[in-house]
Each structure stands twice: as C-alpha cells, then as structure tokens.
Amino acid sequence: MFNKLKAKIENKKANIGIIGQGYVGLPLAVEFAKAGFKVTGFDTNEKRVSDINKGISYILDVPAKDVKDLVNSSRFKATTGTELLNKMDAIIICVPTPLRKTKEPDISYILSASDAIAANKRKGQLIILESTTYPGTTEEIILPKLESDGSKVGKDFFLAFSPERVDPGNPKYKTKNITKIVGGVTPNCTKLARLLYFQAIKEVIPVSSTRSAEMVKLLENTFRSVNIAMVNELALMCHKMGIDVWEIINAAKTKPFGFMPFYPGPGIGGHCIPLDPLYLSWKARQHGFEVRFIELADEINSSMPHYVMDKISSILNSKRKSLKGSNILIIGVTYKKDINDIRESPALEIVSHLIKKDANVYCHDPLAANFRIDGKKINTVKLTKENISISDLVVIITDHSDVDYKLIVDNARLIFDTRNALKDFKSSKNIIKL
C-alpha cells in the first residue's frame, strides 16, 4: 500500500480530495491542481461548489482565472456529495473548528468529515487533518473511526496532521511558499504526507508525531495572541500617561534584534488568534494545568471592543453629545486589513453595541457589501463627502488600503482612529487615536 501510493504521488496520478473549500481549502486545492494533480473540492455549501464549477473565486487570494483555467482543464472540480471520497487517494480535511459559547472546542465539523471518510474509505488512502485543533485530536478522534472496521493505520491507510498556516491578504506569503509542518501517526504516514505536500509546496518539515504538529499551530497563534494583548495593554497605559503608543512601537522596532513589533487595535478577529489559544487552554485544563498567560491575553484582547465603545461615548460626551441619536460612521467591518472575512471581527460587537444604544450607525467597507448583526442584515454605504460630513464621529475599525482617508480627514468633524491609519495626517486637529 505504501509503495503503491508513493508511486501515485510521485507520478502525480493520485486523486486528491479536499474537504472544505474556504480560506484554507480552496487555495490548497488550486496549488495541487496547478502542480498537475486531479483535485476534487468537497463542501456542504452549494453556492461555493457552484461557483468553483463555474470558474468563480470567492477568495481574494485566489485569482478567478486560476480557478477557471483549472476547471476548464478538468484538473479541478467541486461537489457536495461525499461518495466520491472513495475515489480519492489522498484526502485533506480543511473544515472550521469554532468555539462553543462556553469557550470549549467544537469539533463537530471534524467529526462530520471523519464520518464521511469512514463511510466511503478504501484501502491505500492517505488522510490528513489540517483544521486547527487541540493536541491529540487526530489520534483520539479520527484514528478510532478509521480503524473501526479492522483496518490498521500505517498498513491499510495512512493518517497525518499538517497545520494550516495561511495568512489571508498577505501579499508575500501564500500557500505555496509557506513552510508546511507534517506529523504522522506512523513513520510511513509522515513520509507520505511530506511527499504529497512537497509536490505543491516549496518546503515541508516533518515533526515526530501528530500531537507535535497539532501543538505547532497552537504555539504560533498563542504567541501572537499574548503579544497583541501585551501591546493592547501598553496602549491603554500610554493613553493614561499621555504618550503616543504608535511612536513608541515605531521607535522600538528600529532595534535589529530582540524585538518584534505588534500593534494595538479595537480587538482581534478571524478564525485563528481569538480561538486557537483557547483550544490549548481547554486541553491544558484537562491535564490539571492552568495557562495563565493565555487566559489573561484572552481577557485583555476580548476587552478591547468594550474599551472602544467606552471611548466613543467619551469622545461624544466631550462635545456635549450623547450616544443616543448620534450619527456614527464606521470605517471597515472585516477583521483584518484588505480581506473580505468578517468572522469574529471586533467591528461586529462594536456596531451591535452602538445600535442597541440607539446610535445611528452607518458602515463603509470596500470589501464587504453587507453583514449580519443579531440576525439582521446591514448593508454598507459608499464613502461620500455627505456621509462623512453628517457624521458626529467617524470610527476607523479596519484600515483597508482602498479607502480615501484624505476625504475623511478633510470632511469629518471628529475621527477616532483605532488602527493608526491616519499616521500621515499629523497636523489634523480632528483625529483622536486609540
């Protein structure tokens, strides 16, 4: 089984199935198809499947031309059905891993994908989990399902974990040139997983086990979460002391060693940094260990939207205006600059709060035509001189590149800049920083 699958991968004759066609799965599918493999994307979202098969890309980092060319060449297709999993030589799971309201891991999507594979599997397949999760998931959850019929890992099938490391909107690092980490249940599992990724990705590094590979991703994002929390706390302290935190960070980063710049903001968002450290925290508690840094970082980062809300009220009060009835223009609702992903965006919590306080809220985002707050659809507005000038306060939540900041500065009465987007307008008197 090992030699047969190895030969298929080396000759690019292996059929690759990728479950989940979101921000991780679609770019990965495109890279494997570009490398010469036949790739099938599996997704429960019928619109995504339809778009792929029409050659349409809904991910900004994936050019529509690439999808169209690959679909037309019959190297890439998508389906909502799971029966084709039986035809795949390698299956990669790229599904979401959210948190429950209790901040416990929700691996229901991983369970569903595993059940679909188990129901349609055959001998000689390589299965790889990419979804971020707690250490032990691959061997404790997926492996028993695949061995339930008497099959043996490393002999009848191969199982590995490789953490996704995409950075949506990053112009330099894409799926192809981000180093891959792989860890298999057995040495042969690791070898096959490494070989597969090496066909489409420049560098692939093996680690000793699936648990180690699972921990790598959690370390990466916990590192970011803790450092963002530290600089957020520093920003609040600098505000109390009358010091410009942005100036401090820019000066500190001139040191060529021993310092890495992180930046404060209105809160953290996306599917990784707000969630991944809490997966690690949950697993640590199961082993009787309290991760105090992680818990404190989550507390600080989660408090930033509330700080922004309080600051908005304070700014309006200083101008003898109440929050109720004030016109507030929010700039940017996605969680990160220059991407169209709204998941976990701090803007959602801030906008929801302002609406509940009876403020008149308008949102502009060049990458999001609409979004939902408490089940209600909210359409974004165009950035016009009129929309700016009628606003009592303009709040910059996400600093997209494609925003006319000069138009804002020239026409706004007051601006609350939570991202230092207006750093080039130092002489303006109507700008208040985080």
**Known catalytic residue: 189?**
no
Catalytic residue among 94, 238, 272, 363: 272
How would you write the chain as a 3-class SS string? CHHHHHHHHHCCCCEEEEECCCCCHHHHHHHHHHCCCEEEEECCCHHHHHHHHCCCCCCCCCCHHHHHHHHHCCCEEEECCCHHHHHCCEEEECCCCCECCCCCECCHHHHHHHHHHHHHCCCCEEEEECCCCCCCHHHHHHHHHHCCCCCCECCCEEEEECCCCCCCCCCCCCHHHCCEEEEECCHHHHHHHHHHHHCCCCCEEECCCHHHHHHHHHHHHHHHHHHHHHHHHHHHHHHHHCCCHHHHHHHHCCCCCCCCCCCCCCCCCCCCCCCHHHHHHHHHHHCCCCCHHHHHHHHHHHHHHHHHHHHHHHHHHHCCCCCCCCEEEEECCCCCCCCCCCCCCHHHHHHHHHHHCCCEEEEECCCCCEEEECCEEEECCCCCHHHHHCCCEEEECCCCCCCCHHHHHHHCCCEEECCCCCCCCCCCCCEEEC
- Catalytic positions, please? 272
